[in-house]
Structure formats: structure tokens, C-alpha cells
Amino acid sequence: MSTELLPGVLQNIGRGVGRLLAPNAGPMTGPGTNTYLFGDAEVAVLDPGPLLDKHIAAIQKVAPGPIKWILVTHTHPDHSPAACKLAEETGAELLGQPPPDGYVQDKTFVPDRILEDGDSLETAEFCLRAVHTPGHASNHICYRHEALRWLFTGDHVMNGSTVVIDPPDGNMKHYLDSLAHLKTLNLAALAPGHGHVIDDPDAVIDWLINHRLKREAKVIARLRTHPRLTLENLTPFVYDDVGEHLHPLAQRSLLAHLLKLESEERAIQDNERWRLAD
């Protein structure tokens, strides 16, 4: 699907599904955060985005009916901060998982209904089923549209880039396990939190898993020849295909790889230096 992404313009992307782009484009958000609207007679909003009055007003303006539910994929600052204000203005019910500890979490999000894996929001027009996908965030939920077989992926899968896995809340092992689980869901498409709809979900999921495993293999290869390296020492070699300006972010995902290897007893940390386990 190649429809241009335009902030403030509701785009009908599937039967009973609209996409409204938030005006928060940037290096970490791409063209901006995708806010999705479901239903006509009664509307559910997914990921209302950052706390921007202009976007909150636009959501209410384009909604074809009263907003009854607000769902979030996770509580990072580009996805959930608008939820509380939108709920106050519409009386909508908040659904999702509460924020974990961490400085990048939106503490204003207090769900009226906490969703666990397999829970659903079912109306006369649609059914959205929660799929718990920890990894990028421990409280990350994707939503499967049961009729369309689309998965609304938040930041678990993005279009055009990989996501940062930032410990301690980000967890590489959980992320890879969650990606593998998606392949059991019989999906027709992925609707990400940033970018266009992805029409070949299994191929993209396989690419993401292989990409992470290739990165992990580079970590192992470097530690095999150069043991007792620090995180800073490792980054230029493991991310030699990434611009230096992105290395501070890459370090976070590299740490997630190392912690995964440590949890599997394949790597050992000693005074902030890493080596392979014997």
C-alpha cells in the first residue's frame, strides 16, 4: 500500500479501519506515529500518540462516530501520552497495560481495563484481540483484527527500520520469542506504529529474526578473537554498517544482545568487560 502518509488526514486503509498520522516526524518516529481508528457507529482509537492538542483535536474531528475506547500498544512517549486527555474529553475507556518502571515511560496512562494476552475488545463492528509481545517494551501489546487478520504492531515491527531494544525494560530474548510467536497467528498484513502497511508479514518477520541473529553472530565472532571488550569497544565492530551518529542507540541494542547471551550462559561480564563463556 503506497498511499502517502500525511499528518491530519484520515486515510481509509481497510474495511472499517482508518489511519491518522500524528505530526511528530523525526529520526526515531519516521513519518510520525500512526493513530488507528476502528468502527463507525462506535469508534476505538489505537495509539493516540504524543500529547499534541492539534492531533487530539484531529482524532475527534475525523472520528465517524463517538469514541468509546482508547487502546495503546505500549507506554513510550510517542504512543500513549495523548490517551489520558482524549479519554477526559470523550469519556472513552482506556485499555492496555500500565507502564513499567523507567524514565521513558508515560506514567499518565492508567488503564481502566488491563489487557492480558488473548483478551479482546469485541463490538458489533470489529474484534481486536490482544497479543502480548514483550521485547521492545515489557508491556507491549499488538492487536489482531480478527476479521481482516491484520496485526497492529506498534513498535514491535516497524516499516522501513528495525527497533531499538533498550534494557532493562527492553529484552532481546523476549523480542525474538515474540517475533517467532507472530508467525503462528495466520496474519494477512502488519499495520505498524510507524510507516505503511506491510503485506508480506512472514517474510518481514523472518528478515527481522535473521537480522538480529546475524548481529548476535557478529558479537560472538568479535568476542572470540578479542575477549574482554567493553560495550563501547564492541559497538564499532558489531555496528560497522551503521553511521557513528547512531552508535549511542546501537549500544542499547548491543547491550540487549549481550544480556541475552549472558542469560543463556554464552557470555560473561566482568567489570564491564565481556567475554565468551568457556
Q: Which amino acid is at 124?
A: A
The pLDDT value recorded for residue 243 is: 87
> Going residue by residue through the chain (278 aa), what tens digit of pLDDT does each one get?
446 888 889 999 999 999 999 999 888 788 999 999 999 999 999 999 999 999 999 999 999 999 999 999 999 999 999 999 999 999 999 999 999 998 899 999 999 999 999 999 999 999 999 999 999 999 999 999 999 999 999 999 998 788 999 999 999 999 999 999 999 999 999 999 999 999 999 999 999 999 999 999 999 999 999 999 999 999 999 999 988 888 998 999 999 999 999 999 999 999 999 999 98
Could you give the CA distance from residue 200 to residue 202 in angstroms, rounded to a whole number?
A: 6
Contacts of 179 (CB under 8 A, 6+ apart): 135, 156, 157, 205, 208, 209
Q: What pLDDT score was predicted for residue 85?
A: 97
The pLDDT value given to residue 147? 96
Amino acid in position 236? P
Residue 84 neighbours by CB under 8 Å, 6+ apart: 94, 108, 109, 110
- Predicted pLDDT at 1: 41
pLDDT at 2: 41
What is the reported pTM? 0.94
Domains along the chain with CATH numbers: 10-199 (3.60.15.10), 209-276 (1.10.10.10)
CA angle 127, 196, 215 (to 5 degrees): 105
